[in-house]
């Protein structure tokens, strides 16, 4: 999720602009997420292909 389209409940401006302390805090929190969902998906698909390859070899 990105903060580009979110509106702050405190100042009623887009969160991406960071006009108030709440906007800035939420923008920083959203941008500090660790592993992206795409990276998790790629890792799971890689594990699936490895498991299928190992099963085919045995």
Mean per-residue pLDDT of the chain:
84
Contacts (Cβ under 8 Å, ≥6 apart) of 7: 13, 14, 15
Helix intervals (H) in 1-58:
21-31, 37-57
Is the confidence at residue 28, as pLDDT, over 90? Answer: no
The pLDDT of residue 18: 86
Mean pLDDT (whole number) for 48-52:
95
Mean pLDDT (whole number) for 22-41:
79
The pLDDT of residue 44: 94
Which is higher by pLDDT, 54 or 38? 54
Mean pLDDT (whole number) for 51-57:
91
């Amino acid at each position: 999720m990105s903060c580009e389209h979110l509106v702050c409940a405190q100042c009623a401006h887009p969160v991406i602009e960071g006009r108030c302390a709440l906007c800035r805090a939420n923008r920083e929190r959203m941008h500090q997420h660790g592993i992206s969902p795409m990276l998790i998906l790629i890792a799971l698909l890689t594990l699936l292909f490895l498991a299928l390859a190992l099963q085919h070899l045995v």
